[in-house]
């Protein structure tokens, strides 16, 4: 029996890399998509093939470019002959705190295209093949409480794109349910730096008083959630938006000083 095939965008590093590792561990062939980090992607693909009974392919593509998306999906189908799982992990983010009125047009377009329109490009390309097989899993990434359309100061473009993606996720879920395709969203918490590729065990001794569960979040927390949605037995779950935050409110970027009720940004 052939392995299922998963395309994880932006997976040479970070959460995408940890997700690819988890899926490979479960016996799923993986496509490592990268934009610029060629050496890391190729090395990671070789490591996965050595460690697990899977095939791993590294493919360069900018998922905000429709031509690159066509090339990416075409290469996957040429090599594997199928594409069962799409994980839309890649998405630009501007760490600088900027008010909406301060965004340049190219910055705004990059946020919308990279985080929302790219999902349209790739989903449009892969859904026909999933329909033909009568099975598919599409996973999108959001942010905490994106399904409530919250205000997120200084993150207007990113937030607008991801909130739009919530509606797109749920719409695709309804439209594709009859074909055995599920579409869900995972909303990571405040997982930063080296923790994006870390295991849960690594975090067991790393306390975090700002997170109700008492530890930092890891890439494995996200990867295990994605793996759950990808399972054969998870076919009844679609249109779901799930927060993986440890209970932490990641949108609130101000704190109250002990001596004052004035918020400090």
**pLDDT at 251 (0 to 100):** 85
For the chain, the domain total comes to 1
Residue 1 above 90 pLDDT? no
Q: Does the predicted model carry a pTM greater than 0.75?
A: yes
Per-residue b or e along 18-54, where b marks 16 or more CB atoms closer than 10 Å to that residue's CB: bbbbbbbeeebbbbbbbbebeeebbebbeebbeebeb
Residue 260 above 50 pLDDT? no
**pLDDT at 263 (0 to 100):** 39
Average pLDDT, the chain: 93
* Tokens read off for 195: 């923790």
Taking the C-alpha atoms of residue 44 and residue 76, their distance in angstroms, rounded to an integer, is 17
**pLDDT at 265 (0 to 100):** 37
* Tokens read off for 238: 């679609």
Tokens 């970027």 correspond to: 253
Q: pLDDT grade, residue 209 (50/70/90)?
A: confident
**pLDDT at 237 (0 to 100):** 98
Classify residue 220 by its DSSP letter. Answer: H
pLDDT tens-place string over residues 17-45: 999 999 999 999 999 999 999 999 999 99
Q: pLDDT grade, residue 2 (50/70/90)?
A: confident
Q: pLDDT grade, residue 250 (50/70/90)?
A: confident
**pLDDT at 257 (0 to 100):** 32
Residues 6+ apart with CB under 8 A from 59: 31, 32, 33, 34, 72, 75, 76
* Tokens read off for 141: 């990434």
pLDDT tens-place string over residues 143-155: 999 999 999 999 9
CA distances from residue 257 to 2, 16, 35, 212, 260 in whole angstroms, order as listed: 58, 37, 42, 19, 5
**pLDDT at 204 (0 to 100):** 82
Percent of the chain with pLDDT over 90: 88
Classify residue 165 by its DSSP letter. Answer: H
The domain in which residue 83 lies consists of 5-264
**pLDDT at 262 (0 to 100):** 43
- Give the CATH number, domain containing residue 236: 3.40.50.720
Segment 178-204 shows an average pLDDT of 94
Percent of the chain with pLDDT over 70: 95
pLDDT tens-place string over residues 71-84: 999 999 999 999 99
Segment 39-64 shows an average pLDDT of 98
Residue 183 above 70 pLDDT? yes
**pLDDT at 208 (0 to 100):** 85
């Amino acid at each position: 029996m052939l392995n299922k095939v998963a395309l994880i965008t932006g997976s040479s590093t970070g959460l995408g890399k940890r997700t690819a590792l988890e899926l490979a561990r479960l016996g799923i062939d993986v496509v490592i998509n990268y934009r610029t980090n060629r050496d890391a992607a190729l090395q990671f693909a070789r490591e996965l093939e050595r460690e697990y009974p899977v095939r791993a392919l590294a493919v360069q593509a900018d998922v905000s470019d429709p031509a690159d998306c066509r090339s990416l999906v075409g290469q996957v189908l040429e090599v594997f002959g199928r594409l069962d799982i799409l994980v839309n992990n890649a998405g630009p983010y501007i760490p600088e705190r900027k008010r909406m009125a301060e965004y340049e047009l190219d910055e705004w377009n990059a946020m919308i295209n990279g985080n929302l329109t790219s999902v349209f490009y790739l989903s449009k390309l892969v859904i026909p093949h999933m329909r033909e097989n009568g099975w598919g899993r599409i996973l999108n990434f959001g942010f905490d409480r994106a399904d409530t359309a919250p205000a997120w100061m200084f993150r207007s473009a990113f937030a607008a794109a991801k909130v739009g993606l919530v509606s797109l996720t749920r719409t695709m879920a309804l439209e594709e349910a009859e074909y055995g395709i599920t579409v869900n969203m995972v909303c990571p918490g405040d997982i930063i730096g080296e923790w994006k590729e870390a295991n849960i065990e690594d975090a067991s001794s790393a306390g975090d008083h700002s997170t109700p569960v008492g530890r930092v979040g890891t890439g494995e927390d996200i990867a295990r959630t994605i793996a759950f949605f990808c399972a054969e037995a998870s076919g009844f779950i679609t249109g779901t938006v799930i927060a993986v935050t440890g209970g932490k409110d990641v949108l609130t970027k101000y704190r109250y000083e002990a001596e004052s009720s004035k918020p400090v940004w």
